[in-house]
Amino acid sequence: MTLDSQTAGGGRITHPDAITQRLSLPPGDGRSYRLAQLDDYTRLPRKDFRWQPPARLSLRARVSAPDLPGTWGFGWWNDPFSAGLGLGGGQRRMPTLPNAAWFFHASPPNHLAFRDDHPADGLLAAVFSSPRLLGLLLAAGLPALPLLAWRVTARAMRRTASRFIQEDAVRVGVDVTTWHTYVIDWRMDGVCFLVDGQPWFETAIVPAGPLGVVIWVDNQYAAFPPDGRIRMGSLPNPAESALELSDIVIESSRSVVK
């Protein structure tokens, strides 16, 4: 399978050898956004995203440092907040509620959980599931977004979102700078995450497809913590940030794509 390449701010995607792909960001300050990404959905409307359960993503990965500034990861999602970013002729889409199953690493000050009892940073095995109809209502409610500027109303909106967005997540306690095999088994009745062949986390929450495959590293942060103080932006990375990958295999009920 050929995944499309998306880069911004000097991000690069290279091939150090015949089986390895390297996604890297140059050193820089926090004034600009930097991204290196592989995906199969940027030019598609959400209704044409490719993947539904049962599906399985397997790959080997390592990163250049244990706590890279920003985020990195791999899995499936519905690109809920994107407007295309102006990258590669990407589709402009209205915001919607999140559906995802992925290994997701977020450095502080990221806080990407709607439930207070779930981890919100570090390397996470995480699932989000949201009704698609409510995503349409979110788009209709865009004029209310300025209310997020006030903590009281932002806290109330976060509590409301937590009632409709199902989520489940655990931290994955492995040395991310060494090679590991990561598997996401997206089933009709749940999602199972494996690391080096061993089950790490299993949940009955199932994201609503169709979803797209995404593999990325960037210097972005977004925080919607319990105190209602919303923050987002870009972080400095004094050294190069890199995510290396090999042996990417995506299996569905119809085919196996490498």
Tens of pLDDT along the chain (258 residues) come to 679 999 999 999 999 999 999 999 999 999 999 999 999 998 899 889 999 999 999 999 999 999 999 999 999 999 987 644 444 444 566 778 889 999 999 999 987 776 777 787 899 999 999 887 544 444 444 444 443 444 444 455 555 565 678 899 999 999 999 999 999 999 999 999 999 999 999 999 999 999 999 999 999 998 776 665 777 899 999 999 999 999 999 999 754 454
Continuous H helices in 167-247: none
**Predicted pLDDT at 140:** 41
Q: What is the pLDDT of residue 253?
A: 74
CA torsion, ordered 157, 169, 253, 13, to nearest 10 deg:
90
pTM: 0.87
CB distance 9 to 23 below 8 Å = no
Residue 149: per-residue pLDDT: 44
Q: State residue 43's pLDDT score.
A: 87
CA distance linking residue 216 with residue 224, whole number of Å = 21
Sign (positive/negative) of CA torsion 166, 171, 172, 178? positive
Q: What is the model's pLDDT at position 85?
A: 43
Give the separation between CA 137 and CA 188, rounded to whole angstroms.
26
Question: Mind listing the domains of the chain with CATH numbers?
Answer: 4-257 (2.60.120.200)
Using alpha carbons, list the distances in angstroms from residue 209 to 46, 47, 191, 206.
9, 9, 13, 9
Say what the pLDDT of residue 96 is.
Answer: 82
In DSSP terms, which residues pair with 219 in a beta bridge?
Answer: none
